[in-house]
Structure 1
Amino acid sequence: MPEKTSPHILTENNSNANGYTDNLAISGYPPTHKKEKPPSKYRKLVNWTIGSAVLAAIYAHFIWATWYFIEKTEATLDSTTCTGYGFWMIVFIFINFGVAYKFVLKKYLIAPIERYMWKPCAALFKKVPYATTGFLALIFVAILVFLIVDSSDDWWRLMPLTGLVIYVIMGFLLSPYKRQIPWTTVLSGLIAQFILGLLTIRWDVGRNIFSCIGDKVDTFLKYAVNASAFVYGDDLVLNQAIFAFNALAAIYIMSFTINILYYCGVMQSVVLNIGIFLQWLLGTPICESVNSAANIFLGMSESPFLIKPYLDHMTDSEIHSIMTSGFASVSGTVLAAYISFGATPAHLITSCVMSAPAALCYSKLMYPEVEEVLIKRENIKRIKMEYESLLDAAIKGAGEAAMIILGIIANLISFIATIYFFNGILTWLGTLVGYTEEGELWTLEIILGKVFIPLTYTMGVQWEECEKVGQLIGVKTIVNEFVAFQKMGEMDLSPRSKIIATYSICGFANPGSVGILLSTLGAFMPNKRENLTRLAFRSFLGGCFVCFMTACIAGLLTP
């Protein structure tokens, strides 16, 4: 049967009010708008001149810093890895690698290797029956052996394996197409999640790297606190540390910076390359891989903008994966609020990274692909953002941050008031049957804590702290993660239990987020609104289970 083309499927250059340009095209689907004119030679020359000047300034400063470090200081590279010259050297290496990759490596090294070596070897490997499954099974067995040997002095650390098995079984039972489950994708995702956890939680170098990144993020976000103190005064921001003026102020600088990076094309390149890597690693379609990668940096309602022109033409499995990824992660713009409650920046960043492959593999377990995927890697192009200038991008980023903050404040007031309302009713009902002591009052947190005790126990939390962590999971699931992180900051938990709790509640899976995501995606895919509502609860459960699986991995790797 010949391929059908549809002139109304996509547009070539379709701007929207949020500043995003849907500058994407699929082969075989002609655009309905005129193509964007290529940049003029003058504009190219200006860009090259500015880029060369910036690169020359970076090289000049690095040479100067190197001379000063060798001649004028007695510090070592190890002592300055995260604070001084050593950190600048790492940044300098990454800058050079990025330039070399863009202009040399990608075209003259990576492309020939992929064409003449990787693709032929991969095709030959696929011809061998069950070769991929067998290879992944060997890695999985090696991981199990490592865990058994590593936990020989403390067998309790293997308890989270029980949780992982339970969540995989639950995902299998909830799957409507059990025979179509791509077990290679599921195994690949679990292995990738474990390896990321091993590198970032257990390995000293990886843990130090993420701790350093977390410290830098924390330092960067604190600049917003100083700016907020200038606007609102030191008393409200620094002394009283009022949440709306202190913690939420960092959202302005995050949204401001992310918009600038998108205008410069940096974020698109990072997200697209991570998405391509996830597609290669897990075998998932490119759009949901890009969306999952974007969720590391953006929120569940911002990430779909990257693939907006394609959303209305996705399969149910792809839609389910996009929604699951949104519920299983948090936005980089709100990490500052969690940090202000006492959450460790390194673990928050690690959780976001680990959730990307985990959400993809678990979504394919709960809802495997049974339709034809229309959007392939070969016919997708990078998205651009329609801003008049760098200043325009920055101003719009600050304006969007204001809307995010207003939404957070409105949700917090509404949901916390609802908790107080239910607690008032429960307390009254409890007093009628004799529960009048302060420690015995019936509250929503106490009830949820007891309900989730078995869940937290399978994650590796010590029995005496299971109820406390269960309360956090319950509050996060019924209300939102902001309230859960706030309560975690008030609790006296052991370091290991706090780590497990951080991973288990680091996700947007809550009733308010369901409404937000349905509203956002419903506007993008009006022809798929029935599909969205049908898949919403399933993906909500999937997002919860992904967070719990990430917590299990953290429990396995944390002594």
Structure 2
Amino acid sequence: MRYLISFCGLLLVFGLAFLVSKNRKEIKYKNIILMLVIQFLLAAVLLNTRFGYTLIKGVSNVFDRLLEYASAGVSFVFGGLANEGEYSFFLNVLLPIVFISVLIGILQHFKILPIFMKWVGWLLSKVNGMGKMESYNAVASVMVGQSEVFITLKKQLAKISPQRMYTLCASAMSTVSMSIVGAYMTMIEPKYVVTAIVLNLFGGFIISSIINPYKVDENEDILTIEDEEKQSFFQMLGEYIMDGFKVAVIVGAMLIGFVALMALINALFDMIFGISFQEILGYLFAPIAFLMGVPWAEAISAGGIMATKLVTNEFVAMMSLGDVANTFSTHTLAIISVFLVSFANFSSIGIIAGAVKGLNEKQGNVVARFGLKLLYGATLVSILTAIIVGLII
């Protein structure tokens, strides 16, 4: 029965994507089926095999060690700020982003990341039937972030069609940046973080191929990656340290605002209606959670967390998940965890549109116009990933 429900969930995801498709005759069904098969295989390998366990354990150990190194710097500056034995979210989860950002900067400076992103993107283009630019952009979004990725393409932004622009932005919203992966791993199990990142990469291609299919002229599919302005090694370090700190502070500020606002809204709804706002959202999203494979007994609570992620951000939702994780079955915890690992929320619309507008005002306006459709597609990607994990685990 569980498999039948999840299969209905898959049909719903594809049906909702097909419903808003711009050009159904151009949909490349063979590529979509191939990528769907790859998603199931990757999920099975990562979650159900010894090799997958070893791989994820290795990735987790790397990030654990990096977080240890990061804590040395944090402790030097902020040691004693938190009471002994107490846990500080800002110090332990957000500030390590600064160190991860530095490592990304070093890999960028020595041209290791650009080469990796370009060749992996080229390989993916052979599978997804899309252009090299779209494939490169998806990989680059994971490596450098949903805003920064457009800087690497700024020479070509003015020439990119609205159709291709949608796919580029959808990839950026469906993935997460490596700079905050370590932060996620302190809040949910690393195996779900790694699995979601890999599956969302292909899921973004699948949903975009249905919602926004188009042909790419080989003569126009020329990938020109913008090189960063030549800096000395220590100039680069300073820049990436500041960039990482800005991200940490911005995320911290958003958490303060969103968590406080959610607490206020919940209190008002509870006082007026006798039920919290998150509980109401839980009832609205419960059918979706159920079709993702969550048992109905847990669907309302799970739906509330899903909705929290959509209207606030993934960090707030992960904190909410942590509060009720011990009430969920392992199956439900896996499904909701992978659903949360993406930038698919309302605030990301403004972030991406603002990033593009800063580089090209005309294209920024284009992105702003299809903002809600962008969020719609990215949310379907998260649901697709969650259903696949629910079927495999």
Sort the TM-score into its range (normalised by shorter chain).
over 0.9
Deviation at 1:452, TM superposition (A): 1.0
Specify every segment of 5 or more residues in structure 2 that has no aligned partner in the other structure, as ranges. Answer: none
- Aligned residue identity for 1:355: N
Deviation at 1:209, TM superposition (A): 1.0
Alignment match of 1:216 (pick from 50, 58, 62): 62
Q: 1:215 to 1:159 in 2, by over 3 A?
A: farther
**8 Å contact 1:328–1:546 — kept in the other structure?**
yes
**8 Å contact 1:315–1:372 — kept in the other structure?**
no
User: Whose Rg is larger?
Assistant: 1
Alignment match of 2:98 (pick from 240, 252, 264): 252
Runs of 4+ in structure 1 deviating by more than 4 angstroms, as ranges, are 370-374
Alignment match of 1:364 (pick from 183, 204, 209): 209
- Aligned residue identity for 2:316: V
**8 Å contact 1:229–1:238 — kept in the other structure?**
no
Q: 1:219 to 1:161 in 2, by over 3 A?
A: farther
- Aligned residue identity for 1:498: L
- Aligned residue identity for 2:142: I
- Equivalence for 1:280: 126
Residue 192, structure 1, aligned to residue 1, structure 2: no
Q: Distance in 2 between matches of 1:247 and 1:233?
A: 15
- Equivalence for 1:464: 297
Residue 535, structure 1, aligned to residue 378, structure 2: no
**8 Å contact 2:196–2:338 — kept in the other structure?**
yes
Deviation at 1:158, TM superposition (A): 4.7
> Where do residues 11-30 of structure 1 align in structure 2 (5 Å cutoff)?
none
- Equivalence for 1:428: 271
- Equivalence for 2:169: 323
Deviation at 1:391, TM superposition (A): 2.0
Alignment match of 1:270 (pick from 107, 116, 119): 116
Q: Distance in 2 between matches of 1:372 and 1:212?
A: 41
**8 Å contact 1:308–1:524 — kept in the other structure?**
yes
Deviation at 1:544, TM superposition (A): 0.5
Q: Distance in 2 between matches of 1:404 and 1:458?
A: 35
> Where do residues 268-417 of structure 1 align in structure 2 (5 Å cutoff)?
268-341=114-187, 343-369=188-214, 375-376=220-221, 379-417=222-260
- Equivalence for 1:205: 51
Q: 1:347 to 1:418 in 2, by over 3 A?
A: same
Q: CA RMSD in A?
A: 1.9
**8 Å contact 2:121–2:138 — kept in the other structure?**
yes
Deviation at 1:531, TM superposition (A): 2.1
- Equivalence for 2:343: 508
Deviations 1:388-409 (A, max 9, x none): 2222222211011111112112
Tell me which moved more, 412-421 or 283-292. 412-421
**8 Å contact 1:237–1:245 — kept in the other structure?**
no
Q: Distance in 2 between matches of 1:487 and 1:217?
A: 23
Tell me which moved more, 303-312 or 260-269. 303-312
Tell me which moved more, 171-180 or 537-546. 171-180
Q: 1:158 to 1:395 in 2, by over 3 A?
A: farther
**8 Å contact 2:196–2:339 — kept in the other structure?**
no
Deviation at 1:373, TM superposition (A): 7.0
Percent identical pairs in the alignment equals: 23
Q: Distance in 1 between matches of 2:218 and 2:375?
A: 23
- Aligned residue identity for 1:520: A
How many residues in Structure 1 have an aligned counterpart in Structure 2?
A: 391
Flag the structure with higher helix content: 2
- Aligned residue identity for 1:465: E
Deviation at 1:410, TM superposition (A): 1.9
Deviation at 1:236, TM superposition (A): 1.6
**8 Å contact 2:314–2:343 — kept in the other structure?**
yes
> Where do residues 125-144 of structure 1 align in structure 2 (5 Å cutoff)?
none
Q: 1:325 to 1:238 in 2, by over 3 A?
A: farther
Deviations 1:261-289 (A, max 9, x none): 00011111111111111101111111111
Deviation at 1:382, TM superposition (A): 4.8
Alignment match of 1:554 (pick from 383, 386, 389): 389
- Aligned residue identity for 1:475: T
Deviation at 1:484, TM superposition (A): 0.5
Deviation at 1:374, TM superposition (A): 5.9
- Equivalence for 1:136: none
Q: 1:320 to 1:374 in 2, by over 3 A?
A: farther
Alignment match of 2:282 (pick from 449, 467, 491): 449
